[in-house]
Amino acid sequence: MIGRNAEIALLDGMIATSWAGQGNAVAVYGEAGIGKSALLAEVADRAPGDALVLRATGVEAESELPFAALHLLLRPARRLIDRLPVGQSTALRSAFGEGHGGAPDRFLVGLAVLTLLADLAEERPLLCLVDDVHWLDRASADALMFAARRLAAERITMIFAGRDAAEPAVHGIPEVRMTSLTRADCELLLAERAADLTPEARGRVIEEAEGNPLALLHFAEILTPEQRGGHLAPLPLQSPGSSMAGRLEQSLRVAIRKLPERTRLLLLVAAADGSGTLRFVMKAAQALGAGPEDLEPAEHAALIEVSDGRVRFRHPLVKAAAYHEAPIARRTAAHHALAGALGGDEHADRRAWHLSAAALEPDEETSAILAAAGERASERGSNASAATAYERAAQLTIDRERRARWLASAAEAALGAGQLGRARAAADRGRRLTAEPLLLARLARVRAAVEAEQGDPAPAAHMLISAAAALAPTAVAADEAASMLATAAGEAWFAGDRGALGQAADLLESLGSRVEARLTGVVAAVRGMERVAAGDVATGLPLLRAALPAQAGGVTDQTTGTYAVFGALMTGDDDAACELAAVRVAACRRHGLIGALPHALQLLTQAQILRGRHAEAAESGAEAWQIARDTGQEGRLRHLHGILARLAAIRGEDEECRRLALQAEGAARERNGSGWGGCALTLLDLVRARYEAAAERLASVLDGPLGHTVIVTFAIADYVEACARLNQPTRAYAAFSRFDAWAGASGQAWAAAVAHRCRALLAPRDEAEAHYEAALAPDLRGGRPFEEARTRLLYGEWLRRARRRADAGAQLRAALEGFGALGAEPWAERARAELAAAGIRATEPKPPAGSTLTSQELQVVRLAATGATNRQIGAQLFLSPRTVGFHLYKAYPKLGVSSRAELAGLDLGP
């Protein structure tokens, strides 16, 4: 490996680190021929003797075969699949086409891969080498990346290699770029591999190769004896303006043209096949008139290698040259021959793609075969492959309705794969082909989901309402219409589109008894949302409470579960919101719904923040953010940024709060979000005594399209405080009247207490105390500890200014204790300052046992304290068992314990 000492040293270091118990992954990129495959081979050769090396290579011909690369990589680990948790083993077997458990969550397969590799690494250190990642099937790439981003305590190094591209094949792991060899390194390589070249020939080859090792050796090989001796005009190269890969392929095509015709035919079949299985290649080639003896000229020319029942091209560029050198008629014949050679159900997908490649005009039979391949890919959880199969099926049929149906399936699959642009394009093509309401509804769902994910919920709401209105008269489609309207109402709520909310509510109610009983609460809740958005909280909040089930565990589906949590949040019932959201999270974990988990965790984070369970909210929010990032949910990340910005504001992390809020929907454009980011910045301004900025910011949010949302309603109390600090109480009257009406309609004790606090701030000085006392009355205490601590702080300040030192001290100490327990450091600092001004010594509260732990450590410790095993914890948190043990190992000294048994006795918070 001349000239690659830096890359080898880097990878050797990574392997040594992982062998010591800290797993890692890296992606190596470079142009074709730069030496990526040679680097992987060198790393494999240098691996310690006790290491297990797993290898896989992306194959262009298999890039649409579901989990093809993953199947190859994990072949040595198949014996361990039965040891996986049941959901993971079922998902992995379904991915490999061996189960009948329905389509697995595509990221649950990634978790199964992580657990399987971690189990394997318990036996021996593990090195996973994946070459040509630009040709990996998308399902394999997703699963491997999900695992690669979660290597923490595993003795695993994963190295991926692929060509440079505008869009990298893999994401979320460190990258290394392989660059051209220096001239000195080129000289060394040619001295080793082409020592007979004259200095003139060597210099010309080095100049033409531009530091590319493959080009260097190939250009040296194709020189005639005269050219090798220095007679250089002309070298058989393309113009310098073309890419190196293009120049190499053209040169290789020249070499292939010199071969006998039947050898060229056999190379074409091998290139079209892609898998390298010699018996299939020969069976198809013999059908076209070529035989085993025709391999020999290609072997002599060092273009292929035949061994162990496989035919391997010297380099992917050789394969590309062999394929593209053939005219279209021959390529079509080769694919037909290969389809004929691939018999049996196990080769159905490969046969389908060869028939697809051979189809040059519409073909109804091939269209149906590809649609069936798409259905199989969907059942295995390979949405990207399914989308491609359905798209090709649509291309090959002349029936408009059938084409629209295949395009709808393609759009849904692309959406499931996170390929939003592709999903939008397929849906748009499908809409122009059909007038069938159910099909248009499917297409509208896709288009709406794309719009919402890309940050524009208003058009999403209108698309869904329009499609649902067309469905509503259809007796058999009432539930589908109701489900679409429930989604539309949510989008309209966050878009601040009251007209759309009203339309959704009207249409839902018009469905009457045709709606399933489980959706009755949702129908009421949507009308409640419309009433709240219109300012009629007295009517709206009771309707929202109707979405709350009698028992949290009674909610089983995502729509009713989400509306139940929302109803609890909107009516201020924080305990119910926490319980209901926890049920949704548990259901996602239990069923392996990793893609749905970030939304469930987001709802739980919101509820925990409001309830004052800040440490738990940090855990939930961090996990939601991590999984949303790993699963490509950009819209979900925007919402999470705003929610986590509030936690940062409470903790006094100013820069982090601003960073998150600016990335959140609603904070940047005051639209298309929930308002959490803007309200977080207001809270930060308030605690930093920037009262005018706080008042102006929140006034803008209150008057904007998000003024009706949950967090903005609750933030009215912040607005009142800012105006009071500015000695402008009348500025806050109108906003406070809104909160006061909401607090009365909600019936929540904490809300009544906050309303009293606001009255104290707005009242004349001689009337304020009665309101403070009312806010802290025993029957109104509890619910939201952050709000209670703020009330005590404000009352303590008022008492100090009234020169009632002892009474002030009691309130300020209680405020300090409350803020300390919540991790609200800047608020605690204000309480300390007030105590100091009163001449009272502050007694610092003892921090909770888990306050020094990271969010993930605290999650692991809480579950370990219940008696759950590392394997059970890993299944819940989507970590490997060894990583769970690693987090426990780090947490024990922070907690002052030495064993798992001691965890149960610790106060780790609610």
Q: Domain check: are 147 and 12 in the same one? A: yes
Residue 834 in domain: yes
Phi-psi region of 909 (alpha: psi -120 to 50; beta: other; left: phi over 0): left
**150 pLDDT above the threshold of 70:** yes
Residue 266 in domain: yes
Residue 171 in domain: yes
DSSP 818: H
Q: Which two tokens stand for residue 618?
A: 């940090």
pLDDT band at residue 544, thresholds of 50, 70 and 90?
very high
Give the separation between CA 122 and CA 665, rounded to whole angstroms. Answer: 44
Range of weakest confidence among 153-167, 358-372, 425-439, 650-664: 153-167
pLDDT of residue 666: 45
pLDDT band at residue 76, thresholds of 50, 70 and 90?
confident
pLDDT of residue 236: 47
pLDDT band at residue 107, thresholds of 50, 70 and 90?
confident
Q: Which two tokens stand for residue 187?
A: 């000289």
Asked if the peptide bond before residue 234 counts as cis, ω within 30 degrees of 0, the response is: yes
Specify the DSSP element, H or E, that contains 129: strand 126-131
pLDDT of residue 233: 60
The average pLDDT across 763-783 equals 91
**Amino acid type, 587:** A
pLDDT band at residue 847, thresholds of 50, 70 and 90?
low
The residue from 801, 816, 846 where one domain ends is 846
DSSP 882: H
Burial class (CB in 10 A: 0-12, 13-18, 19+), 478: buried
- What ranges in 747-869 are assigned the alpha helix state H? 749-762, 765-775, 785-801, 805-822, 825-837, 855-865
Phi-psi region of 28 (alpha: psi -120 to 50; beta: other; left: phi over 0): beta
SS3 content of the chain, % helix, strand, coil (to 5): 70, 5, 25
The residue from 125, 151, 177 where one domain ends is 177
CATH code at position 104: 3.40.50
pLDDT of residue 670: 42
Residue 631 in domain: no
**Amino acid type, 77:** A
Relative to beta strand 52-57, strand 126-131 is parallel
Q: Domain check: are 831 and 888 in the same one? A: no
Residue 862 in domain: yes
* Mean pLDDT of all residues belonging to the chain: 90
Q: Domain check: are 897 and 829 in the same one? A: no
pLDDT of residue 783: 85
CATH code at position 866: 1.10.10.10
φ, ψ dihedrals at 136, nearest 5°: -65, 145
**39 pLDDT above the threshold of 90:** yes
Instruction: For residue 374, give the nearest of 397, 344, 353, 401 by alpha carbon.
Output: 353
Q: Domain check: are 11 and 107 in the same one? A: yes
The average pLDDT across 213-224 equals 87
The average pLDDT across 851-871 equals 84
The average pLDDT across 368-388 equals 93
Residue 668 in domain: no
Relative to beta strand 304-307, strand 310-313 is antiparallel
Angle, alpha carbons 848-601-744 (nearest 5°): 80
Instruction: Check: CB of residue 154 under 8 Å from CB of residue 874.
Output: no
Residue range 643-691, pLDDT digits in tens: 999 999 999 999 999 999 988 864 444 444 568 999 999 999 999 999 9
Residues with Cβ < 8 Å from 790, sequence gap 6 or more?
Answer: 757, 815, 827
What is the 3-state secondary structure of 742-760? Answer: HHHHHCCHHHHHHHHHHHH
The average pLDDT across 541-566 equals 84
φ, ψ dihedrals at 853, nearest 5°: -85, 150
pLDDT of residue 850: 61
The average pLDDT across 507-511 equals 93
Give the separation between CA 2 and CA 33, rounded to whole angstroms. Answer: 14
The residue from 341, 371, 394 where one domain ends is 341
Report pTM: 0.85
Q: Domain check: are 267 and 173 in the same one? A: no
Q: Domain check: are 73 and 121 in the same one? A: yes
Q: Domain check: are 173 and 271 in the same one? A: no
Q: Domain check: are 115 and 154 in the same one? A: yes
Give the separation between CA 669 and CA 649, rounded to whole angstroms. Answer: 20
Q: Domain check: are 15 and 56 in the same one? A: yes
The average pLDDT across 722-746 equals 96
* Residue that is written with structure tokens 């390194």 in the block: 185
Give the separation between CA 471 and CA 219, rounded to whole angstroms. Answer: 66
pLDDT of residue 381: 86
Q: Domain check: are 158 and 262 in the same one? A: no
What is the 3-state secondary structure of 274-307? Answer: CCCEHHHHHHHHHHCCCCHHHHHHHHHCCCEEEE
Q: What is the largest CA-CA distance in the chain?
A: 108
DSSP states of 605-651? HHHHHHHT-HHHHHHHHHHHHHHHHHTT-HHHHHHHHHHHHHHHHHH
pLDDT of residue 894: 85
> Cα–Cα distances in Å, from 857 out to 299, 628, 815?
57, 19, 28
In sign, the C-alpha dihedral spanning 676, 679, 685, 686 is negative
Residues with Cβ < 8 Å from 124, sequence gap 6 or more?
Answer: 50, 51, 52
Q: Domain check: are 814 and 875 in the same one? A: no
Specify the DSSP element, H or E, that contains 217: helix 213-221
Three-state secondary-structure class, residue 25: strand
Instruction: For residue 163, give the nearest of 136, 181, 145 by alpha carbon.
Output: 136
The residue among 242 and 695 whose pLDDT is bigger is 695
Q: Which residue range is the domain that position 322 belongs to?
A: 256-341
Instruction: Check: CB of residue 760 under 8 Å from CB of residue 795.
Output: yes
Helix 676-687 and helix 654-663, axial crossing angle in degrees, nearest 10: 160
Residue 271 in domain: yes
The average pLDDT across 618-641 equals 90
Q: What percent of the chain has pLDDT over 70?
A: 95
Number of domains making up the chain:
4
Residue 351 in domain: no
Q: Domain check: are 114 and 9 in the same one? A: yes
> Cα–Cα distances in Å, from 741 out to 486, 704, 717, 777?
26, 19, 13, 20
What is the 3-state secondary structure of 726-739? Answer: CCCHHHHHHHHHHH
pLDDT of residue 237: 45
Residue range 440-491, pLDDT digits in tens: 999 999 999 999 888 788 999 999 999 999 988 876 688 889 999 999 999 9
**101 pLDDT above the threshold of 70:** no
